[in-house]
A and B are shown apart, each in its own frame.
Chain A
């Protein structure tokens, strides 16, 4: 399993739990879950890109 797929799975599962916990209505849950998922993946890509100049 690649690192990116691991990130996607983690983001999807955590976003699902957050959405069910924090919203009551189905439509609001879907919207919140998708926003949370995009935030997880987007922030990971941005942070990864910012770290790319540093040597390993």
Chain B
């Protein structure tokens, strides 16, 4: 409700669409913070961040498979990369290998990939908010 109130005050900013999308990719919810929708931003950061962290805790592998050799692996990798900086940070902290023998390995993979896919929707939402299609 407070978000609707904020949206009524904050006018669309078409020029901010590209920076908002880039920020939204780098960190879930950052694009909405930039567009002065802090409640939405906080919700996305909390929910998508929790999905990603729980995926790592469930021994997810963070593959960086690019190329046409294995299309499915590349798409899966792109889905994970869509969460932006948390993906890179997790890889730098040594979480890239995962643990394929863990009973929760596939669950973890699902959590991290879905977190990235949801972040793509959040980026599109940030674009819509910036151009005035959504509040």
Chain A residues with a Cβ under 8 A of chain B: 1, 3, 6, 9-10, 13-14, 16-17, 20-21, 24-26
Contacts and interface: CB of A to CB of B under 8 A. Distances in A.
Given A17-B121, A21-B122, A24-B4, A10 B135 contact: no
Nearest to B115: A13
A19 B7 CA distance: 17
B40 interface: yes
Contacts of A3: 107
Interface residues of B, number: 24
Given A14-B114, A17-B121, A26-B1, A6 B104 contact: yes
Interface in B104-118: 104, 107, 110-111, 114, 118
Interface in B17-41: 40
A3 B125 CA distance: 31
B50 to A, nearest CB: 6
Interface in B53-102: 54, 58
A24 B118 contact: no
A14 to B, nearest CB: 7
